[in-house]
Structure 1
């Protein structure tokens, strides 16, 4: 019996090493997202019937004093907030279902609220995901600071785009395509997502400045969690022996500012990736689903709790961005309908909404199947 318990509770056990970290990461991200909907909805005076982390059958839950059912459900791949009167995407104030509400319920029903209240409630989910990422980075920067490498060139790889463009050892990056840089990480950020694009670099060479143009090549790179990905690179090497390194310590205000900047960089890079992916310029294997997230969560947990928290931050901003895509039933799809309603001064017809909703649902399900296939068979 003791041997069984030792095996079961050992960190190498699949349940402890992978499933629990995965559930932790996903639960935090989903809870924060849905809490955004809930808190802003309540602030707008909208009644809430259910708050669920997960889908499907309820595992356990309770009712609060306002009558909201808080519950944990069996399928931990999302969650939802069910508002009073929020029957479906095509619900409107004159529908038969709406007519069944009591007078008190109609006053707090979601679909009878002004557009700005509905839009604020919907956008709050992704917004809270971004705020979670900012909060995590702010804490990490406050505690650990940040290692900074000066943006200098130690050498160029033979046959690389950098060698062909004329980069020389000792050159210092000043700007990348018009964006000023102050660290080597800035250069990597601006180059990594642009394989195949022509990029203009301004370099400081002694007392002069030179302008060089290079086209990053796509290379395979392994991150700290062991994931292999393709990134753009020009072949500049910044060795520890040559590079000037420093460790920057931030106070809480500075850490928050840096966290906002870092989150903004991630949002831009993600948007850039999605655009290039839609154009067929990114490897489909860069996209993964729950299986890959579970694997990453297990590896992060093995490296330490701070790595697991950083994974929460990265996944949170990704979920926020995906939810803002203008595709029903995602939050961005609802915002698209509210925008049309604001312009036309009347709700979009039920028939049109239903048709767009079905197309959007098909797109979302197809995407989910695609990432599942990548996880299990495709890559």
Structure 2
């Protein structure tokens, strides 16, 4: 009974909030596909949030079935000639001449590519809009990259950093705020970095290699980060809030969305090159836990978290894996270059390989989730 009570509490505290966030992000993604499909003259048979048996649905005036299903981890837009929800294979058998005119697979490759790309683009737009709205309403908080202290015997101390130094660039990449410095140093453990600093009106170059610091996060996952030993006072009087206009807020929103994607790419590369532990890759359980913790911090962090999730779902869908949007775009690129579509056998093989890769990834991240929960329960990690 204690286990059931704990499970019920977890579902209420973590699961519901996560599903609301995921439903919003998935809806925007599928809405991108849907709107561009309609614009290209494609007949949409179904718009589904979730998979499996239907909970609730209705038809719009165009004959599209809008539905909510029992398995809420994703969604799809199904076209009139699709054999399945992933648009893998098509059939116009039994369709009238007017219905064939709305078939997705009979459209030019440019139209099909536009429909497929619209989903990830919609996610990027959602992230940008959320960031831009926050930039306009609460302003942009800036913590200058000033050095308030240097840890003795650290890489920073050995490089000659002094309190009062301001970091203006790392490896010729401009540093505007302390978060920029943390991001670059944190992802560069063991790599030599050239710091351009300002000291008493003079620019100097100091070279330091961040130490590798291995830690466990609040969810029991191991991660590595770079540290050089620079200390910064985080008191409120050190933070500047800058008001920005609409154009600058949008540009900053685009930059933050791009930064999210770049951070994800760097993280994946670190895992592939074994600089970071694959343990930190998590699935729905980890996402639900993070969502609940962020929600406790207030509406602003929550909106930033939604923007982060949206940007990354857009990016992950563009990976060149058949089954995902990126896989479809890969085949359309082949078709555009060769002036003919890939053979049915090639597409089927690609679909099977892509599905296998995707399923292995799903199993892996869920296994990580379960093992980390188990370690926390048993106190073994």
Same fold by TM-score, threshold 0.5 exceeded? yes
3-state DSSP of counterpart to 1:129: helix
Between stretches 248-257 and 40-49, larger displacement belongs to 248-257
Counterpart pick for 2:294 among 291, 294, 300:
300
* CA–CA separation in structure 2 for the residues paired with 1:373 and 1:225: 14
* CA–CA separation in structure 1 for the residues paired with 2:316 and 2:245: 32
Counterpart pick for 2:255 among 258, 261, 273:
261
Between stretches 320-329 and 14-23, larger displacement belongs to 14-23
* TM-align CA RMSD: 2.4
Counterpart pick for 1:204 among 184, 198, 221:
198
* CA–CA separation in structure 2 for the residues paired with 1:70 and 1:306: 31
Q: 1:224 to 1:202 in 2, by over 3 A?
A: farther
CA contact 1:55–1:76 (8 Å) conserved in 2? yes
Aligned residues: 365
Aligned to 2:37: 41
How far residue 160 of structure 1 moved from its aligned partner, in angstroms, is 2.3
3-state DSSP of counterpart to 2:134: helix
**Does 1:81 find its partner at 2:77?**
yes
Aligned to 2:379: none
Name structure 2 gaps, 5 residues minimum: 376-381
Q: 1:225 to 1:360 in 2, by over 3 A?
A: closer
Counterpart pick for 1:56 among 43, 52, 57:
52
Q: 1:247 to 1:305 in 2, by over 3 A?
A: closer
* CA–CA separation in structure 2 for the residues paired with 1:333 and 1:147: 39
Between stretches 192-201 and 62-71, larger displacement belongs to 192-201
Structure 2 counterparts to residues 1-379 of structure 1, below 5 A: 13-87=9-83, 90-91=88-89, 97-219=91-213, 229-240=223-234, 244-378=238-372
3-state DSSP of counterpart to 2:101: helix
* CA–CA separation in structure 1 for the residues paired with 2:136 and 2:73: 32
* CA–CA separation in structure 2 for the residues paired with 1:240 and 1:355: 54
How far residue 241 of structure 1 moved from its aligned partner, in angstroms, is 6.7
CA contact 2:222–2:277 (8 Å) conserved in 1? no
User: 1:292-336: per-residue Cα shift (whole Å, max 9, x none)?
Assistant: 111112222223233332221111111111101000111000000
* CA–CA separation in structure 2 for the residues paired with 1:266 and 1:362: 27
TM-score, scaled relative to structure 2: 0.89
User: 1:204-256: per-residue Cα shift (whole Å, max 9, x none)?
Assistant: 22233222222223335788999885432322111247984311122333222
Between stretches 215-224 and 40-49, larger displacement belongs to 215-224
Q: 1:130 to 1:223 in 2, by over 3 A?
A: farther
CA contact 1:25–1:308 (8 Å) conserved in 2? no
Q: 1:309 to 1:16 in 2, by over 3 A?
A: farther
Q: 1:210 to 1:224 in 2, by over 3 A?
A: farther
* CA–CA separation in structure 2 for the residues paired with 1:66 and 1:239: 59
Q: 1:106 to 1:304 in 2, by over 3 A?
A: same
User: 1:159-192: per-residue Cα shift (whole Å, max 9, x none)?
Assistant: 3222232222222112111111121122122222
Q: 1:309 to 1:141 in 2, by over 3 A?
A: same
* CA–CA separation in structure 2 for the residues paired with 1:331 and 1:239: 44
Q: 1:129 to 1:178 in 2, by over 3 A?
A: same
Give the 4+ runs in structure 1 shifted more than 6 A.
Answer: 221-228
* CA–CA separation in structure 1 for the residues paired with 2:14 and 2:235: 38
* CA–CA separation in structure 1 for the residues paired with 2:187 and 2:345: 40
Aligned to 1:5: none
* CA–CA separation in structure 2 for the residues paired with 1:311 and 1:218: 27
